[in-house]
Structure 1
Amino acid sequence: MKTRFARWLCASLLGLLLVGVALAVPLAGAAAGKGPPTPLLWKVSARDGSSLYLLGSFHLLKPDDYPLAPEVDAAFAKSTRVIFELPAEQVESPALAAQMLQAATRTDGRSLRDDLSPAQWSALQAYASGHGMSVEALAGYEAWFVGLSVSLAEMAAQGLDPSLGLDQHFMRQAASAGKPTGGLETAAEQIALLDGMSLEEQRQMLAEALDDASEGNQQTRALHDAWRAGDAKRMWSEMALDMKRQYPALYRNINVARNDRWVPKLERYLQPGQGTTLVVVGTLHLLGEDGVVEKLRARGYQVERVGAP
């Protein structure tokens, strides 16, 4: 099974997914009664008593993904601050969508059609025609943006909503409780990750988005189900390792390099007197040998999974 770019990004990037829904279709209704998701939650403790809760996010969720498990609510209650991938003020700023659109808009005098094979262009035409989109308008954007927009439209049709994502939920909770928040990187840095993709990677992203839409979005459901089940092993083995094998350069840029930049920033919150901090980031940043959890464990901190089945 191939890992779809946008599915992997759904558990990896935040800001781009929140503002890329301009082409999304209306949300579908969601079934209720599944019970709270099993949390992907770890506690990292320093010797002096300062600690981090690391919570794996899914950036688009459904109404029936709430309420959360009591362990997650307890971690929020114990924390004096909440840290996200992006600062809350950037996520909430109208300038974020403008930044993304500026990066995605073509300025080279070429059309998206020039970058695609005849078969890919025909597939995009068919998708646009069937979903009330203007293929001529899409032709003015980079392939990565169109691929991400198609994927987000399909996720929205399944009832997955960025406003219900775990990040947005805790941004609202922190604001209501008066808890300070912060970010590990900027919107400009996240946008540069996608805008810096090679043309081959962008074509692959768009082709897979169209292909997955035609197959009924099975991988999106599988990834969401694994997140709900708290199945860290499945998410790592079927999603992250697959991406690592197929797209090693992209995997290093989107996952490994960012994790390496985040770890020193997270260690600041483990210094004496920092108390307890809740960190909410894309789940795949926490998993496997390249994940933040293992990198902090390797630096000598005590790490334990909280609320595991």
Structure 2
Amino acid sequence: MRRLVALSLALGLAASVAAQVDARRPPLYVVEHDGAKVYLLGSVHVLPEGALPLPRHVEALYAAASVVAFEIDLAEATTRVGDLMGAATDEALLRDVLDDAQRDSLAVSLRSFGVPETAFDGFEPWFAGMSYGMLTLQHDDRVYGEGVDAYLFSRAEIDGKELVALETLDDQIAAFDDLSDASQVAYLMGLVGSADQAGTTFAALLDAWASGDEDRLSAVLSDELSHPEVFESLLVRRNRAWIPGLLDLLDRPGEVSLVVVGAGHLVGRGNVVALLREAGFKARRITG
């Protein structure tokens, strides 16, 4: 009888442990060259509360990496808020480029969020778009916290790993700031027009990221058809600019590097994985 009870308890514990296994498989690739290993991890910049730590196989890769690379130096970004604000206010401002219909539509939406309708008037449209996008998430039912990149960056700092930035903060700002006024406005108003679907869209993004479904990720993230200039500036051109830095990491025999970039940079036209393959490297998908 005691054996049966013990066996029952053991089976129950095993079932409980199995239920806790993290089945998430975010986009992850490895590229190897002359003894160097570079892992490419697709990130989402905001995660629901309780989504950390990451799956065990990702945490193990982080532990094995001596170098961790990110889009930008996140520590620098937090100290240069003034520069960001300056770049967002030195050209055509939102109040000067919206027509009456656009202004009214934005005002109604901002009021629905409890935000003054003139809140973004003193900023350029691209900055208003970034801010508006975060505003829609803040009014979602779920509670969101730091994303994959912020989580791993803070850990890498504490653990003393070598940190590499694929671009500067100025580069990243320019990707937005250099867009034409028309594209900036079109992008913002597209967000306003789909605000009631923002929570559903972001949930779909998180689900596609967690499952590693690249086709679904590409469909959710790609603005290529509706906003071609935005797609080219924010994704394709930056992907190309990152390749030299990735080649430098591949020229470090014996080192393991983990590269953490937005998941959108690993899928769709002109993605980083495709560019590395075009350069003659073999990129292999890791699923666990």
TM-score normalized by structure 2? Answer: 0.85
Give, as a single letter, the amino acid of the residue that structure 1 aligns with 2:260. Answer: V
Within 2, Cα distance between the matches of 1:238 and 1:294?
19
* Partner residue in 2 for 1:295: 275
| SS of corresponding position for 1:244 | coil
State the SS of the aligned residue for 2:138.
helix
**1:190 and 2:177 equivalent?**
no
State the one-letter code of the partner of 1:105: T
What amino acid maps onto 1:257 in structure 2? R
Give, in angstroms, the shift of residue 119 of structure 1: 1.8
**Does 1:53 find its partner at 2:35?**
no
What is the CA–CA distance in structure 2 between the aligned matches of 1:136 and 1:187, rounded to whole Å? 27
Match of 2:115 in 1: 133
What's the Cα RMSD here?
Answer: 2.2
| Secondary structure of residue in 2 paired with 1:279 | strand
Aligned to 1:63: 49
Q: Displacement of 1:249 after TM fit? A: 3.0
Of 189, 200, 223, the residue aligned with 1:218 is 200
**2: distance between equivalents of 1:168 and 1:216?**
22
Is this contact kept in 1: 2:91–2:124, CA < 8 A? Answer: no
- Bigger CA drift: 296-305 or 181-190? 296-305
| Conserved? CA contact 1:57–1:166, under 8 Å | yes
After TM superposition, list the pairs within 5 Å mapping 1:17-96 onto structure 2. 35=22, 37-46=24-33, 48-93=34-79, 95=80
Question: Which residue in 1 is equivalent to 2:242?
Answer: 262
Could you tell me which runs of 5 or more consecutive residues in structure 2 were left unpaired when the two chains were aligned.
1-19
CA distance change for structure 1 residues 71 and 140 in 2, over 3 Å: closer, same or farther? same
Amino acid at match of 2:29: W
Paired with 2:63 and 2:256, the residues of 1 have a C-alpha distance of 10
What TM-score comes out, normalization by structure 1 length? 0.79
Question: Residue 56 of structure 1: CA displacement?
Answer: 0.3
Query: Which letter maps to 2:25?
Result: T
Identity between Structure 1 and Structure 2 (%) = 31
The AA in structure 1 aligned to 2:83 is Q
Cα 1:208–1:175 change in 2 (3 A) is: same
Look at both structures and tell me which one has the larger radius of gyration over its CA atoms.
Answer: 2
Against the structure 1 CA distance between its residues 216 and 300, is the aligned structure 2 distance closer, same or farther, given a 3 Å change threshold? closer
Q: 1:70-94 CA distances to partner (integer Å, 9 max, x unpaired)?
A: 110111111101000002331332x
The code of the aligned residue for 2:248 comes to R
Q: Give the direction of change, closer, same or farther, for the CA distance of 1:79–1:113 in structure 2 (3 Å limit).
A: same
